Structure 1
């Protein structure tokens, strides 16, 4: 039987690949489940698209401000244990844009889809705090439209981010997939860069599609990580 505790202790480089399920325990809804961000939305993928931002920046701003910011959210035990492990010997590659990995103290994080709390003006590229963005998406000095530094539908992933993610995955001898159904690409495709001899394990309530030979730890990730001694 696969022992996650032993695998982590014996690994030289641990890379976590994480998704929205890691942050639901911190009170941040996921995207596609009942009650998630996309529930009851007419066309949520358009709402978070570059096309919507460019054509209807007021609508885009309203959607993001009303649905995506949870500043009171705190890192949970999954974030905390991942931070401790990766600060010693690894990296977190996350789809999440909530910044909770960094809040937990993680030093080696690849935010594959960006970070909601990084705001910049599309005209002058000056950076702003997110509280400014909550009030208005207009940069008064030049009339530029402010936006969060996240990857929108219709936008490519930053090549430097892709390279950092590939490096983290290809150098790991232990890959741990947490809180993602592994259906969103190109993120899910990153697993293809794993070393042939690397150990791959997923921690999830339901079974997910994984490469042949990978291990599945079925259960609530909060419970699983709470038992880890790191």
Structure 2
């Protein structure tokens, strides 16, 4: 911990790579645990796919609205500390689609997989509010199918997002991986763009799929960020 806090203090350009483990403390389940978003669902990858949205929009709508939306959730200390550091000297690349990082005031966020609350009609392209989507997946104006602007199974990451993310990694003099097993691609491939001398720390409850050079702090992210906050306050 002392080594990590010292690295954060010394860094001039930090890039964070985060996953579901950041938002679980805000009451949003992860994906694959026993109580996660996919628990009990038959073939959840298909339910959250472009094909299902196209062929069975009702089934897609029921899955995402019942399992993925937590409008009452609020940013926790991890979001807040990452936001403060990013606004001072960094960038966040997150897999999370809950929008909590922006709610925390983070002005330097790349939402790698999109944002559930960025909703639009596929027929006319008009933006739609969550409140309207929660009532019906048909656009009131033209009957088009409303969808969230997130990356579904069977869809590709936008080239602009890939480029911005890679650039954030390449520019960093410190990388922090937080709350992710780092097994989802192409997100997990992003560290290939780092400079060879850039140190990487990972904070996660379980071991992660990452190179041996990654320094793992195997602990709950909230506990670690409480220590980081205390350590930075003493600087």
TM-score under structure 2 length normalisation: 0.95
Residue matched to 2:115: 115
Q: Following the alignment from structure 1 to structure 2, what is the Cα–Cα distance between the partners of residues 179 and 100?
A: 14
Residue matched to 1:169: 169
* Aligned ranges 1:44-63 → 2 under 5 Å: 44-63=44-63
Q: Following the alignment from structure 1 to structure 2, what is the Cα–Cα distance between the partners of residues 196 and 16?
A: 17
After superposition, the Cα gap between the structure-2 partners of 1:131 and 1:142, relative to the gap in structure 1 and judged at 3 Å, is same
- 1:140 is displaced (CA, Å) by 2.6
Kept in 2: contact 1:74–1:100 (CA 8 A): yes
Residue matched to 1:216: 216
Residue matched to 1:196: 196
Q: Following the alignment from structure 2 to structure 1, what is the Cα–Cα distance between the partners of residues 212 and 21?
A: 23
- 1:2 is displaced (CA, Å) by 6.0
Q: Following the alignment from structure 1 to structure 2, what is the Cα–Cα distance between the partners of residues 188 and 134?
A: 32
Render the CA deviation track for 1:16-71: whole Å, top value 9, x for unaligned: 00000100011000000111011100110000000000001111111111111101
TM-score under structure 1 length normalisation: 0.97
- 1:206 is displaced (CA, Å) by 1.7
- 1:104 is displaced (CA, Å) by 0.6
Q: 4+ residue runs of structure 1 moved beyond 3 angstroms?
A: none
Render the CA deviation track for 1:57-107: whole Å, top value 9, x for unaligned: 111111111111101111111100000000000001000000000011100
Kept in 2: contact 1:48–1:60 (CA 8 A): yes
Paired residues in the alignment total: 230
Matched position secondary structure for 2:228:
coil
Render the CA deviation track for 1:166-188: whole Å, top value 9, x for unaligned: 11111101000001001110100
Residue matched to 1:77: 77
Structure 1 stretches of 5 or more lacking a match?
none
Is 2:53 aligned against 1:33? no
- 1:3 is displaced (CA, Å) by 1.4
* Aligned ranges 1:39-188 → 2 under 5 Å: 39-188=39-188
Superposition RMSD on alpha carbons, in Å? 1.1
Kept in 2: contact 1:15–1:92 (CA 8 A): yes
Structure 2 stretches of 5 or more lacking a match?
none
Render the CA deviation track for 1:98-142: whole Å, top value 9, x for unaligned: 000001110000000000001001111100111110101111322
